[in-house]
Structures are given as C-alpha cells and as structure tokens.
Amino acid sequence: MDFSFTKKEEQFRQELRTWLEENLPEGWLAGNRELPEDEEEYSAFLRNWQKTLHEGGWAAIAWPKKYGGRDATLMEEIIYQQEMVRVKAPPLVNYVGIHMVAPTLMQIGTEEQKEEYINKILIGEEVWCQGYSEPNAGSDLAAIQTSAVKEGDKWIINGQKVWTSFGHLADRCFLLTRTSHKEKKHQGITVFLLDMKQPGVETLPIVQMDGKKEFNEVYLNDAVAYDADIVGEVDEGWKVTMALLMHERTGIGAQVFTLEQQFEDLVKLTKELHVNDQPLIKDPFVRQKMVDFYTRFRGSLLNYYRHLTKTLKDGHPGAEGSMDKLMVSELTKELFDYAVSVQGHQGVLWKKDALVDSYWQDNFLQSFGMTIGGGTSEILRNTIAERILGLPKDLGR
Amino acid sequence: MDFALSEEQEMFRGYVRKYLDGAGQTKIAREFAKGNTDGFQAIWTGLADLGCTGITIPEANGGLGLGALDLVPVLEEMGQVLLPGSYLETVAFAVPLLEKYGTEAQKEKYLTEIAAGSRSMTLAWLEPQKGYNPEEISCSARVEGDSLVVDGVKVLVPGGEQADSYVVLVRTDEGLSLVIMDRTNDIEVNAQRCIDETLGLSELTFRQVHILQSQILGPVNQGWSVLQEGLLSLNAALTSVIVGGMEKVIDMSVEYVKIREQFGQPIGRFQALKHRIADMKMELETTRSLSHYANWALESGEADCEAAIYSARTFATEAYINVASHNIQNHGGIGFTEEIDCHLFLKRARFYESYLGSSQHYKEQAALALAW
Ligand SMILES: Cc1cc2nc3c(=O)[nH]c(=O)nc-3n(C[C@H](O)[C@H](O)[C@H](O)COP(=O)(O)OP(=O)(O)OC[C@H]3O[C@@H](n4cnc5c(N)ncnc54)[C@H](O)[C@@H]3O)c2cc1C
C-alpha cells in the first residue's frame, strides 16, 4: 500500500500546470470565468478550448498514442483531473465524444469507424451526444422503441429521444434503436452512429430546473443511416450499449475530484461567513458537520483510488464504478444543500443577487440532475446489490 | 500509488482466518461471555504461535519486525469473530508506546513476553463517574523512596481480568504519567457488566499498591501527551477491527436474504432490503478505505495523519452501529434472538462508539487537526 506520487508523476503535474497557466483563456486564472450567454458563441468558445487542449496534447491523455493520446497512466489521469479541477477549467464540450464514444469505438468499432471518427472527436471538429433515453425508456433502457428499418442500402430511423445532453450542439449521435422484436427486449437492439445534421433529425431544447437548456428532445423522422454506421452487429447492440455506459459511470466517478474542490470551497465559505462576529467554522455544529463532509469526501476519493487499483490489476473496470457514481452524486447534492443552508435566509438569493456567489445556488440546483443522469441512484443500488453482492435480480428484468 | 494490501499481507490474513474458523469463529466470544475463558487463553496462545502478537515487535525481541500496516488484515480478522480480551490494546497501544518510550529493561521484558504470547496488556484510563478530560484523573502515584504508591479506581478496562499488565494513567507530582502495573494480588479486579459481554470489562482498585519507579512508561508528568500518541495508533487499529466486524455483518445479511423466502421469493429481491444492503456495503467500503489510509498515514508519518485517524474513527464507529442495526432488521424475528449473532455485533459496535471518547469528541479533534 502506498499513496504517494512518484517524482515522475509530480513532474507530469508541473508540466500540465505550466501549460494551463500559459493557455487558459484570458483572465481565467484571475477569476474571470464567465462563459458566453449566446448559444453560438458559447459553442464556439468551448470548441475553441478543446482545440487548444488538443494542440497542447491535453485533450485525451488516456487514449493510446496512435490515436493522438498520451497513453497516460491512471495516475497521470488522476493528476490531470485534479489539475483541471484546481483551475476550474472550462467544460469539455465534447465530453461524450472523448470519454464515451471514442473509447467504445476503440474497443468495438470497425477500422473504418476508427479512421472516420476518432480524430475528429479529438480535434473538436465533431461533437457527439448520447441517444439512449426515450419517453418510455429511462431506467428501463432496453424498452426503447425508436425503430430502424432497412430499405435498400439505407436504414430508415423513426422515433423520439429525450434528455439528450448537448444534442443541440452535436454533429453526431451514439444512437440506440430497435431493429427487431424478439422475446427478450435486450435483444434486437442496434447502435448507430447517426449524423445529426440531416433533415430527418430535429432537436428541441428542454429548459432544465436550473434555467439552462442543456438537454433536448430529439425527433427522428425518416432519418437515414447506413450499414457502415452500425457499431457491433445488427440486433446485438446491448453489449455495445453497456460498454459505453461503463465508460460513462467511471467518468462520473471522477467527479470526485470536482467534489474535492467544492469541499475546499465550502471550507473557505464557512471561514468567511460570520455569525455573531465569529466565523461559522468555529460553531460546533458547523465544524462537526464539516468533519462529516470531510470524512465522506475523503472516503469517496479513497474508494475511487481503491477501485482504480483494482481496475489496474484486473485490466478492466468493474461494477465498482456504480459505487463511485452513487456516492459522489449523493454527496454532492448534500454538500450544496448545506452550502446554501449556511448562508441563512439570504441563501436563496440567486444570480446577480447571490449573497456570496451564484456558484453555490447554481450547483445546488444542478446537483439534482447528478443522481438521475447516467443511471438513477436506485438503479445503481440495484447494480451494487445484484452485481457485487449477488442478490437476486428484480423481477421483470 | 498502490491502494491494496500486499500478497504477503493477504496470505497472513488467510492463516489467521483459517485458524479462527477452526476455533469456531464467534464461538470463542460466546464461550467467553459465559465465563468459560480457558478456550480464549488457548486461542491467545494459538494466535501467538502464528505470530499475531509480535507482528510489529522487533526480531531481537522475538517478534516479526513488521510495520503497523501488517497488523491491518489481522485486526480485521479479529473483528470478524469479535475476539474478546485486549488484543487491540496490546498490539496497538502498549507495543507502539513500549517501542517508542520503553526503557531497555521494559522492552526486554514486555515486548519479548508479548511476542511469545505469555503476556497481554490493556489500558486503564477512565475513572468512575468521570469523563475524558485530564483534570478528571484522580488515581494517584506518590513517590516513596524508589517506589510509587498507587491509589485509586479505574473502570471500563477491556479484558481486565485476562490481562497480565495494565498501562495506567495516574496523577504524579506535577502532572499525569503512564505506569505499567503487572497483575498482582494487590490489585483488586472486579468484572463490570457491559451490554457487550464478550469483552470482559473490569474495574481495577488500587489500594496503596507499590510499584517501582522504573515502571513509568515515557517521560514522567508527560503522560497525557504520551497517551494521545498511543490513542492515535489505537484508534487507527480500532478502525481495522471495525472493518472486520462490518464485513461479517454484511455477509450475514447477504446470505440470509438470499435464502429466506416470503411471498414466494427470496426477500433479497425486495428493494427495501436490497437497497439497504447496497448502502451497508457502501458504508463498509468507505470505512475500509478510510481505515487503510489512516493506517498508512500513521505508518508513513503523513502530515494529515491525525485528521485521517480521528475522522476515520468517528466514521467507522457510527457506520458500524448503522450496519449492525440494519442487520437485525434484515433478519426479522430471528434477528432479535440471542441465538443468532446479529446482536453480538450491535453490542460491540455500541461499545466502540463511545470507547475512549465520543463521536463528537473525535469530530472536534479532527476539526482541530484540520486547523479549523
Ligand atoms: C442532467 C441529465 C442529463 C441526461 N443526459 C442524457 C443523455 O445525454 N442521453 C440520454 O440518453 N439520457 C440522458 N439523461 C436521461 C437519464 O439517463 C434518465 O433520466 C435516467 O436514466 C432515468 O430515466 P427516466 O428519466 O425515464 O426516469 P424513470 O426511469 O422513469 O425513473 C423514475 C423514478 O423511478 C425509479 N425507478 C425506475 N426503475 C426502477 C427500478 N427498477 N427500481 C427502483 N426504482 C426505479 C427511478 O430511480 C426514479 O427515481 C439525462 C438525464 C439528466 C437528469
């Protein structure tokens, strides 16, 4: 057992730090981190940031060198996450492409698909979205109804997707469709790499509870795809679906580094806010609650490290990613709830009127999506109980 | 970074588990609770033969000369069977303090005998109706020639009747000191009833008990800070014992809900239980992570060692009660019986939560360690 970073790893950290100092957008480190309100500008800004990352060799460090990555070790990935979070770097617009679609294609895609898509994902030329959920298929993902029917050399796709994050900005979609009706609903599913910029695809943004419009309805009316767009085999898409989902959950688990930063921010807040001329952190109730948060975020961080160690030994991630996701998302929700609570009656003030910084109120609202997207907490508990502890499966599945 | 126990450490665990399985697991604790302590003495010898009592003791004193981390899997195994007595206090309190502060003569005698399995030690700190503050210690040791004369009463001494020596916190002329007192007929030892009957708590009464001044452990009048150091390793080790207990509790729940059927199906299919057990598992794994880190931080003298140990300790003690309580509920009626082990774990968990300081106390310690 050893938790220290090697000299080489510390050098890597330094290299990245220096690069960030020189390449982050103007004024970013000084605290000017406003993103453009206008959708076009917003998208351009983020694509530009990804391009900068790519040019520095920092867009997808975990990828193999032959695809333009760095073959980073898991430790380097950890350091990368920590440093990005430390400077509150702009979000990765093509998160789905880099962390979910490309790794899945490297695993399962054809040579042509790798050739066609991976580099465009890397340089930010094509942004991706994930077309899984439908109005009648959320947790019960295998119940999807969007159909793909072969006509000549084309597949004609009809149906509706929902909650599609960044669908309005995306060029391509990792799309789940039903290609035949078999006895078990997990069978007969096919994954397509769909071109979003075609007449048969319409995206309508949905306003979220935090006022943002990041997810969408996607209507598919005779949208077209080809054999070459299929990942894996026709009717055998469930395995592909799951492969991508694994990457998604592992990725959300890495939110623990964000949580670490958020916790540190909360410590600062409780030192800055005063009640009766005394910093809040001196109040016994507050400091004890803060120790609880400290312990739990340390616990989830250490769990994450332990699961990484296991991944390294086994050569692939296991169901433990569900534990990381569950813990981090639930804890984030509690943390921001508390952060708003310690601001007293003025804690409800929002945006420009926020007592300290709307960061707290925004994240409080946003955190409610974390325990739903990527698998709800209930579904994750099922996974932990069934896959890790071997309890009997829910009926109906 | 490597966040796993080594193969050697896991192998050691394997030997200990096999031995304790052979001894009937919690049967040892159950017999002990009934007053049949002979079996326990035999187990202690058996564990010593495996090397368990001398893990961190230098080879020169007959130990294995390993580090505190090597204790971790062994302590976890002790937690699984609710080992009675004062194994924890011996290896994780007395031994590290003897190593750091012991005189040559003390080391020669105590470390060698502990490694050989012929001596167990325990901690006698608390006093009747008193709390955890240093001011509240009234048990005294007065100088008389080259002797000390000890007067006073200590309570809640784990394994007090079985231990061969006590590390006692006493008031000396200008402060507090720790002294080692060997079990003699001069010391009156009375069992104290505890809801956890598998521990063997005792009350010790000292009436003008004479010991040599050379029995002082560490600098005289500095006993309080020496005690705090000992508590760091004791608490780190305690979290390991708790991990073992929690693991066993969760195994019990998992096994039971797979075989017990109601409404024509295994009850483990009901999400009220399934989700609760998933949460129990999360608490276990988080405790394990915190515990492993705390022990590593202690061994490698990390800057955050105190915060890590105090916070791990509070989390572990609270989580243990939680999972032990859920385990009873998951078993239904049979969970409420004496026959099934569920209650044994709850009682032990209840004991640890307030052992050597409350949850609140350790949260406050953690806050201080974090410079808040
Ligand atoms: C911020 C955000 C971003 C998202 N981004 C995307 C995206 O990019 N692409 C995409 O495809 N989807 C996306 N989703 C959708 C997300 O995956 C689904 O919302 C999620 O899987 C839940 O499905 P649902 O909304 O239909 O809820 P339901 O499945 O209807 O769930 C409703 C409630 O019932 C519970 N429930 C359902 N089944 C069970 C069960 N078997 N046992 C116990 N409880 C159960 C759930 O836990 C939940 O509490 C996103 C969601 C959010 C919130």
Is any atom of ligand 1 closer than 6 Å to the C-beta of A205?
no
Cβ-based contacts of B363 with chain A (< 8 Å):
287-288, 291-292
CA distance A96 to B20: 50
Q: Residue A251 above 80 pLDDT?
A: no
Q: Does B287 touch chain A (CB under 8 A)?
A: yes
For ligand 1, pick from A372, A386, A395 the residue to mutate: most ligand atoms within 8 Å of CB: A372
Pocket lining: A165 vs ligand 1, CB cutoff 6 Å = yes
Task: Tell me if A167 sits within 8 A of A196, measured CB to CB.
Answer: yes
> Residue A303: its chain B contacts at CB < 8 A?
285-286, 289
| Beta strands in chain B, from DSSP E residues, in sequence order | 121-124, 140-144, 147-157, 165-172, 175-182, 187-191, 202-212, 216-217, 261-262, 265-266
CA distance B232 to B190: 28
Residue B16 · residue B50 · CB < 8 Å: yes
Under 8 Å between Cβ of A386 and A393: yes
Out of B281, B290, B314, name the one closest to residue A302 (CB): B290
Tell me how far apart the alpha carbons of residues A154 and A227 are, in angstroms, rounded to a whole number.
7
Residue of B nearest to A74 (CA): B1
A193 membership: H or E segment, kind and range: strand A189-195
A369 lines ligand 1 (CB under 6 A): yes
A39 is catalytic: no
| pTM reported for the whole predicted model | 0.93
C-alpha–C-alpha distance, residues B125 and B136, integer Å: 10
Separation of alpha carbons A10 and A16, rounded Å: 10
What residues of A are in contact with residue B290 (Cβ under 8 Å)? 295, 298-299, 302
Residue A308: per-residue pLDDT: 83
CB of A118 closer than 8 Å to CB of A102: yes
Residues of A in contact with B258 (CB under 8 A): 390-392
Out of A248, A260, A334, A386, which one is annotated catalytic?
A248
Residue A397 in this model has a pLDDT that exceeds 70: no
Whether residues A381 and B278 touch (CB distance < 8 A) is answered with yes
Give the model's confidence band at A396: pLDDT under 50 very low, under 70 low, under 90 confident, else very high.
low
Q: Which atom of ligand 1 is nearest to the CA of A376?
A: 47
The pLDDT profile of chain B, 372 residues, written as one tens digit per residue, is 678 899 999 999 999 999 999 999 999 999 999 999 999 999 999 999 999 999 999 999 999 999 989 999 999 999 999 999 999 999 999 999 999 999 999 999 999 999 999 999 999 999 999 989 999 999 999 999 999 999 999 999 999 999 999 999 999 999 999 999 999 999 999 999 999 999 999 999 999 999 999 999 999 999 999 999 999 999 999 999 999 999 999 999 999 999 999 999 999 999 999 999 999 999 999 999 999 999 999 999 999 999 999 999 999 999 999 999 999 999 999 999 999 999 999 999 999 999 999 999 999 999 999 999
Indicate the residue of A299, A309, A381 with minimum beta-carbon distance to B274.
A381
Structure tokens at A126: 């094509």
pLDDT at B258: 97
Q: How far apart are CA A65 and CA A62, in angstroms?
A: 9
DSSP string, B83-144: --SSHHHIIIIIHHHHHHH--HHHIIIIIHHHHHTS--EEEE---TT--S-GGG---EEEEE
Distances (CA, A) of B337 to B254, B329, B333, B341, B342: 18, 12, 7, 8, 8
Pocket test for ligand 1, best of A94, A132, A139, A173 (most atoms within 8 A of CB): A139
| Closest partner CB to A1 (pick from B69, B269, B282) | B69
A320-374 confidence digits (pLDDT tens)? 889 999 999 999 999 999 999 999 999 999 999 999 999 999 999 999 999 999 8
Cβ separation of B363 and A288 shorter than 8 Å? yes
Specify the range with the lowest mean pLDDT, choosing from A75-79, A175-179, B279-283: A75-79
CA B162 to CA A23: how far, in whole Å?
Answer: 67
DSSP A385: I
CB contact under 8 A, A306 and B282: no
C-alpha to C-alpha distances, B129 to B156, B160, B173, B199, B206, nearest whole angstrom:
11, 19, 23, 20, 17
Q: What percent of chain B is helix, strand and coil (3-state, nearest 5)? A: 60, 15, 25
Ligand 1 in contact with A117 (CB < 6 A)?
no
- A397 ligand 1 Cβ < 6 A: no
